[in-house]
């Protein structure tokens, strides 16, 4: 903008003052690469374009580049939304176009069936609710994040509104009861609820019962029962509504005081809001992101069963996986739900999977030690001693090999090729090193020294093997050490290369290379230049099954890539990953992710994705958001966090006070240094940004704050009271500050 401004002044000086200024058109914006060009490129074309766009990466930049996620490979086709009370054992499946509850997937073994299927139809011709996507509005969550799902469907001039939510009162909670309301607007209409399956059903006194006499549906007086068709029908006047309660697990006897629709929802709102309020509060001046983090916290409490954080619900992933579910549990911890985190670590410490036993072992210790540094819960380390000591012993005894590495194991969970795995070895090294640091903090000095010594020897063995294995010409770091693993190019061209792409971010996250090691940069550059990324997300291409050779992304495995970028101060690429996932890695307005999604498998209305919901996908967004705002790092590489960075990578748009009229605020956020509280008030029109801060209870060795330049402004200085602060790499050093104080950044307009 600045050269154009001066050019305009120069040209105006060449004409008389009375003449009209010569119009200067801005240079034309280069068209974005097409979806096909994006998908076949080795570089992240759209991600790099987002960085160059005015204002940098944003949800709006990515939103319309591809159709939204919508379809799954089941008979009901539209993605399911799991409805349940928090941590409930029984979970209902509401199909996202409003076509029914607990509809049959007919896709074994990857999809499970849930409850009695009930399909919904509208109009005199009994058209399936939501059958014509062009006439569908929604689904979306109530208030943007609460799990009451709202959808509208237009049929024969009538607008049918449906809302559904899982009940939370005792018997309803235990039986996966779903409250459903239908309303019709503009003209009169007809709604039909049809029960599937071969079983006979009867209806009496407002209850549909199965052959055992157990309740499947409770209905009101507006509904009429047809035994032969096994369906309920309601004819509604314009503006009228009617309700149902559908039980996923039939109930022997209905409670005498089964709540009405509004009463049940009012109680459930309080329950869910307690979960949000009881944790940390992240106030973001961007409604879509603000709704997303709250919906994803709720989403993970919906997927979890009691104290078990499952990978998914309603499909073959409806159980524990160590690293993925561990990430989901960590995300709850980072958002203030430390008591539930404590309960959920236990099942993960008990988890075992022979095919990935070393990967599992390393991540058990990493999760436990991370929990310790955030909570300083010494009692839990004592309570779980037998479990973690057995893991430490297993790793140490397994290393009795000639090369100092762990024995060969699977290249990946689904790739049985036996290799000396950089992933497994680096995960276990990190677990040992971090456990040594925890034991040192607990005063167990001798044990800590012994374990730290072994971790150092282990790391040396790993790095020696890496040195013998890297392909220097291509700057490629293999997962299969001491082998002939090729430099995959492009990364997703083969099955092994695709799995390399999913695994290598775990190596980055381990920090095994240490500060300043070029090979960490090699991995990042290789991902960026050899087809590893799209919109900041990790690419994947299945090489078998119905999605064979369908390119796409697998967002959850990019979490440690994101965190590595943030640790290295690469804000731009981290924001690409953040907004790429928000726009194209989860469903619109319901924020549901899967294990993977495809670029082109679908139609103009939507794309397909795999086995939603996914707790680790939720965790990727939540954890990335937290680290945009709060970073507690171990930058001196000794296993103990010592550095706190605040707002280190927040997007400039969050400081656009003139447009957003809002502020950034964090309350009760747990960190390695205790709870963190701060607020940023953008007042660029007044020439300032005001940061209100409170020192954490455990002083970090280094503590910084960095704010980006607000749109249209440049930060020129910073003060605490009358003390001028030095801006170094955009950061101000707050080390040693105590209590509550303000940092005032001065800004001036960019001309």
Q: What is the pLDDT of residue 27?
A: 53
- Closest among 412, 434, 429, 430 to 421, alpha carbons compared: 412
Please state, as a whole number, how many other Cβ atoms lie within 10 Å of the Cβ of residue 211: 9
Q: What is the pLDDT of residue 546?
A: 86
Mean pLDDT of all residues in 652-672: 86
Please state, as a whole number, how many other Cβ atoms lie within 10 Å of the Cβ of residue 647: 22
Strand partners, 723: 720
Q: What is the pLDDT of residue 318?
A: 97
Is pLDDT of 125 > 70?
A: yes
Is pLDDT of 26 > 70?
A: no
Is pLDDT of 709 > 90?
A: yes
Is pLDDT of 76 > 90?
A: yes
CA dist., res. 214 & res. 193, Å (int): 18
Q: Which residue has the tokens 């008591």?
A: 339
Mean pLDDT of all residues in 704-729: 95
Q: What is the pLDDT of residue 15?
A: 33
Is pLDDT of 593 > 90?
A: yes
SS (HEC) of 311-340: CCCCECCCCCCHHHHHHHHHHHHHCCCHHH
Cis peptide bond N-terminal to 155, omega within 30: no
CA dist., res. 252 & res. 295, Å (int): 33
Q: What is the pLDDT of residue 173?
A: 85
Do 280 and 335 meet the contact criterion of CB atoms below 8 Å apart?
yes
**118: enclosing H helix or E strand:** strand 118-122
Structure tokens at 562: 């994101």
Is pLDDT of 21 > 80?
A: no
Q: What is the pLDDT of residue 172?
A: 85
Is pLDDT of 6 > 50?
A: no
Residues 6+ apart with CB under 8 A from 519: 466, 470, 477, 513
Antiparallel, parallel or unpaired: β 664-669 and 281-283: antiparallel
Can you spell out the DSSP letters for 187-231?
S-EEEEEEE-SS---EEETTEEE-TTS-EEEEE-TTEEEETTTTE
Crossing angle for the helix pair 385-398 and 422-441, nearest 10 degrees? 130
Is pLDDT of 29 > 90?
A: no
Phi, psi of 207 (to 5 degrees): -135, 130
Q: What is the pLDDT of residue 61?
A: 98
Q: What is the pLDDT of residue 197?
A: 87
Q: State the sign of the Cα–Cα–Cα–Cα dihedral 321, 327, 330, 331.
A: negative
Q: Which residue has the tokens 């960190």?
A: 671
Spacing of C-alpha 186 from chain mean position: 39
Task: Give the full edge-to-edge strand order of the sheet including 702-706.
Answer: 630-633, 643-646, 702-706, 731-733, 727-728
pLDDT band, residue 170 (cuts 50/70/90): confident
Can you spell out the DSSP letters for 539-564?
EE---SSTTTT--EE-GGGGHHHHHH
pLDDT band, residue 598 (cuts 50/70/90): very high
3-state secondary structure of 138: strand
What is the residue extent of each domain of the chain?
A: 74-272, 643-749
Do 680 and 655 meet the contact criterion of CB atoms below 8 Å apart?
yes
Do 57 and 579 meet the contact criterion of CB atoms below 8 Å apart?
yes
- Say whether domain 74-272 belongs to CATH 2.70.98: yes
Structure tokens at 504: 């290598």
Structure tokens at 119: 């399909």
CATH entry, 643-749, from 3.90.25.10, 3.90.1170.50, 3.20.20.70, 2.60.40.1180: 2.60.40.1180
Is pLDDT of 568 > 70?
A: yes
Cis peptide bond N-terminal to 641, omega within 30: no
Is pLDDT of 8 > 60?
A: no
Do 535 and 553 meet the contact criterion of CB atoms below 8 Å apart?
yes
pLDDT band, residue 626 (cuts 50/70/90): very high
Q: What is the pLDDT of residue 661?
A: 58
Mean pLDDT of all residues in 612-625: 98
Is pLDDT of 648 > 70?
A: yes
Q: What is the pLDDT of residues 265-297, one digit of tens each?
A: 999 999 999 999 999 999 999 999 999 999 999
CA dist., res. 232 & res. 225, Å (int): 5
Is pLDDT of 7 > 90?
A: no
Do 315 and 110 meet the contact criterion of CB atoms below 8 Å apart?
yes
pLDDT band, residue 14 (cuts 50/70/90): very low
pLDDT band, residue 729 (cuts 50/70/90): confident
- Top pLDDT among 25 and 566 is at 566
Do 149 and 130 meet the contact criterion of CB atoms below 8 Å apart?
no
Structure tokens at 383: 């309570």
**580: enclosing H helix or E strand:** helix 571-584
Residues 6+ apart with CB under 8 A from 328: 300, 303, 309, 311, 615, 616, 618, 619
Is pLDDT of 22 > 90?
A: no
Spacing of C-alpha 425 from chain mean position: 26
**345: enclosing H helix or E strand:** helix 338-350
Crossing angle for the helix pair 571-584 and 615-629, nearest 10 degrees? 140
CA dist., res. 446 & res. 462, Å (int): 25
Mean pLDDT of all residues in 547-563: 96
pLDDT band, residue 657 (cuts 50/70/90): confident
Structure tokens at 518: 């070029």
Residue 651 burial class via C-beta count within 10 angstroms: exposed 0-12, middle 13-18, buried 19 and up: buried
Residues 6+ apart with CB under 8 A from 206: 218, 219, 220, 221
């Amino acid at each position: 903008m600045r050269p154009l401004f001066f050019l305009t002044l120069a040209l105006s000086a060449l004409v008389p003052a009375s003449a009209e200024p010569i119009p200067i058109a801005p240079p034309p914006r280069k068209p974005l690469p097409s979806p096909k060009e994006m998908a076949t490129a080795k570089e992240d074309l759209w991600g790099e374009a987002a960085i160059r766009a005015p204002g940098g990466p944003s949800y709006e930049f990515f939103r319309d580049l591809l159709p939204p996620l919508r379809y799954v490979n089941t008979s009901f086709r539209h993605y399911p939304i799991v409805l349940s009370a928090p941590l409930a054992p029984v979970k209902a499946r509401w199909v996202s176009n409003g076509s029914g509850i607990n509809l049959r997937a007919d896709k074994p073994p990857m999809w499970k069936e849930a409850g009695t299927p009930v399909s919904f139809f509208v109009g005199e011709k009994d058209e399936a609710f939501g059958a014509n996507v062009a006439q569908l509005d929604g689904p979306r969550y109530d208030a943007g994040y609460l799990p009451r799902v709202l959808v509208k469907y237009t049929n024969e001039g009538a607008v049918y509104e449906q809302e559904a939510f899982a009940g939370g009162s005792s018997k309803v909670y235990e039986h996966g009861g779903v409250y459903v309301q239908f309303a019709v607007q503009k003209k009169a209409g007809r709604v039909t609820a049809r029960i599937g399956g071969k079983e006979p059903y009867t209806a009496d006194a407002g209850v549909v019962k199965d052959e055992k006499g157990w309740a499947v549906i409770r209905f009101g007086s507006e509904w009429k029962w047809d035994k032969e068709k096994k369906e309920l029908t309601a004819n509604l006047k314009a503006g009228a509504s009617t309700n149902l309660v559908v039980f996923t697990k039939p109930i022997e006897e209905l409670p005498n005081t089964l709540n009405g629709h509004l009463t049940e929802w009012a109680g459930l709102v309080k329950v869910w809001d307690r979960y949000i309020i009881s944790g940390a509060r992240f106030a973001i001046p961007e409604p879509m992101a603000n709704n997303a983090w709250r919906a994803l916290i709720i989403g993970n409490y919906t997927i979890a069963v009691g104290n078990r954080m499952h990978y998914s619900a309603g499909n073959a992933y409806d159980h524990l996986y160590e690293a993925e579910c561990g990430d989901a549990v960590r995300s709850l911890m980072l958002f203030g739900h430390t008591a539930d985190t404590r309960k959920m670590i236990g099942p993960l410490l008990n988890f075992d999977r022979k095919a990935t036993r070393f990967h599992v072992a390393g991540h058990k210790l990493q999760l436990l030690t991370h929990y310790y540094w955030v909570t300083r819960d010494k009692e839990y380390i004592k309570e779980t001693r037998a479990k973690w000591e057995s893991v430490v012993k297993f790793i140490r005894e397994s290393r009795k090999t000639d090369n100092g590495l762990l024995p060969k194991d699977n290249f990946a969970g689904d790739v049985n090729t036996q290799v000396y795995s950089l992933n497994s070895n680096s995960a276990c090294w990190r677990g040992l090193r971090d456990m040594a640091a925890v034991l040192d903090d607990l005063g167990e000095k001798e044990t800590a020294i012994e374990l730290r010594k072994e971790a150092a020897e282990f790391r040396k063995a790993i790095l020696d093997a890496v040195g013998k294995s890297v392909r220097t010409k291509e700057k490629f770091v293999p997962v299969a050490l001491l082998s002939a693993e090729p430099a995959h190019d492009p990364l997703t061209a083969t099955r092994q290369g695709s799995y390399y792409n999913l695994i290598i971010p775990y190596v980055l996250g381990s920090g095994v290379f240490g500060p300043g090691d070029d090979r960490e940069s090699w991995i990042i550059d290789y991902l960026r230049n050899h087809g590893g990324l799209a919109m900041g997300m990790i690419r994947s291409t299945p090489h078998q099954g119905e999605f064979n050779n369908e390119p796409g992304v697998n967002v959850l495995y990019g979490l440690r890539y994101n965190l590595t970028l943030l640790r290295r101060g690469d804000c731009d690429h981290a924001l690409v990953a953040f907004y790429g996932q928000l726009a194209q890695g989860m469903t619109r307005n319901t924020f549901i992710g899967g294990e993977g999604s495809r670029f082109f498998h679908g139609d103009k209305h939507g794309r397909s994705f795999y086995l939603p919901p996914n707790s680790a996908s939720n965790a990727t967004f939540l954890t990335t958001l937290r680290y945009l705002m709060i970073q507690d790092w171990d930058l001196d590489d000794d296993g103990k966090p010592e550095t706190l960075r605040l707002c280190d990578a927040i997007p400039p748009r969050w400081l656009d006070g003139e447009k957003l009229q809002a502020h950034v605020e964090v309350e009760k956020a747990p960190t390695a240094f205790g709870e963190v509280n701060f607020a940023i008030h953008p007042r660029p029109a007044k020439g300032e940004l005001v940061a209100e801060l409170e020192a954490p209870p455990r002083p970090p060795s280094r503590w910084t704050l960095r704010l980006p330049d607000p749109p249209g402004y440049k930060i020129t200085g910073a003060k605490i009271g009358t003390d001028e602060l030095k801006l170094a790499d955009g950061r101000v050093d707050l080390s040693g500050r105590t209590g509550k104080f303000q940092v005032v950044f001065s800004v001036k307009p960019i001309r």
